[in-house]
Amino acid sequence: MTLHPQLIPAIPDDTREVAQAAFRKGNRYMQMRDELGTFFNDEQFADLFPTVGQLAESPWRLAVVTVMQFTENLTDRQAADAVRARIDWKYALSLELTDDGFDFSVLSEFRKRLLANGAEARLLEIMLAGFQERDLLKAGGKQRTDSTHILANVRDLNRLEFVSETLRAALNELATTAPDWLKTWVPDEWFKRYSRPFSEYRLPQKEDERLAFGEQIGRDGIELLRRVYAETSQPQLGQPHALAQERQHTARRTYPDLTL
C-alpha cells in the first residue's frame, strides 16, 4: 500500500450536529477532538509506507483508532465496528455519518508496519509531545515513553478472540454433524460461553484475567479433542474443517514453540 499524506479534514457538519445532539455534555472522544485535536497526522507515518501501490487508509485515523481501541479494550473487529456504528468515534475521526469505515484487518496491518520499522513507540511519544506542548504534563513526571504495551494489549485481545472463535466454529460444526453425541457430554457452561460470537463480548482487560480466560479456552479445546478421539464408534467426528483448525490452535497454545 502507498500513502498520499492529506490534511486532516474538519468534522463534517452533519456528524457534528448529530453528535452534539446525542451527547449534549460531550464525551471523552468529542472533548479530546475539540480540546486537543487529533494528535496525529499522515506525515508522521509516511516512512512506514512505500511510494507506489494501493492507496492506504489514512494512518492518522488508524493511530487514533488504536488508542481508542486500547482505551476500551476492544479487538480489531470490535474497533472496526465502532468506527462504522458510533457517532462519537466518527466525530473524533472526521467521518461522515454514512462512512462505512474499513475492514478490521487494516488495524493489524498498521501495527505490523509500526513494529517492522521499529516505530512501536511512536504513538505514545507523539501524544506525550502534544501534552507537553499544551502544558498538560508536569516537568519531571513519570509518564511512560513508549506505546509497546498498547500494541501488545491489542495483539493479545485479537489472539484470544481468534482462538475462541476457532473453538466455537468447531463446536458449531459438531452441533450440525453430531448433535446427539454433543448433547450427551457438553457442560452447561459451554452453551453460555460459546453460544455467541466473541466479538459481542468485552474480553478481559487485566493481564491475569486474560491469562485465566485463555487457559480456560485451552482446557475446553483439549477436552473437546479428547472426547472426539475417544469416540471410536463415530470416526467421522474428527473430519470437520473447523475441528482440524482447533487441533492446530490447541497444539500451539499447549506447545508455543511447535511448528505446524
124, 163: one domain: no
127, 159: one domain: no
29, 139: one domain: yes
pLDDT tier for residue 138 given thresholds of 50, 70 and 90: low
249, 155: one domain: yes
pTM tops 0.85: no
Closest CA to 4 of 65, 72, 44, 58: 58
pLDDT tier for residue 124 given thresholds of 50, 70 and 90: confident
Whether residue 7 lies inside any domain: the answer is: no
Last residue of a domain, one of 146, 164, 194: 146
Whether residue 8 lies inside any domain: the answer is: no
pLDDT at 203 over 90: no
Identify the residue with better confidence: 255 or 193. Answer: 193
pLDDT at 104: 93
pLDDT at 150: 66
pLDDT tier for residue 254 given thresholds of 50, 70 and 90: very low
Task: Compute the distance between CA of residue 73 and CA of residue 204 in angstroms, rounded to an integer.
Answer: 8
The mean pLDDT value of the chain amounts to 80
76, 188: one domain: no
106, 217: one domain: no
Kindly give, in sequence order, each residue whose CB lies less than 8 Å from that of residue 105, ignoring residues fewer than 6 positions away: 76
What is the DSSP code string of 103-147?
-THHHHHHHHHHHHTT-TTHHHHHHHHHHHHTT-S-TT-------
Task: Compute the distance between CA of residue 36 and CA of residue 39 in angstroms, rounded to an integer.
Answer: 7
List, for residues 205-231, the tens digit of each pLDDT value.
777 888 888 889 889 988 988 888 787
125, 156: one domain: no
pLDDT at 101: 94
Identify the residue with better confidence: 241 or 57. Answer: 57
pLDDT at 3: 58
- Residue range of the domain that includes 248: 149-254
Last residue of a domain, one of 124, 146, 168: 146
Residue 54 burial class via C-beta count within 10 angstroms: exposed 0-12, middle 13-18, buried 19 and up = exposed
52, 70: one domain: yes
54, 176: one domain: no
pLDDT at 31 over 70: yes
The CB-based long-range contact list for 180-185 (8 Å cut-off, 24+ gap) reads 181/231, 181/234, 181/237, 185/227
pLDDT at 256: 43
Whether residue 259 lies inside any domain: the answer is: no
Tally of CB atoms within 10 A around 178: 17
How many structural domains are present in the chain? 2
Least confident of 16-30, 86-100, 157-171: 157-171
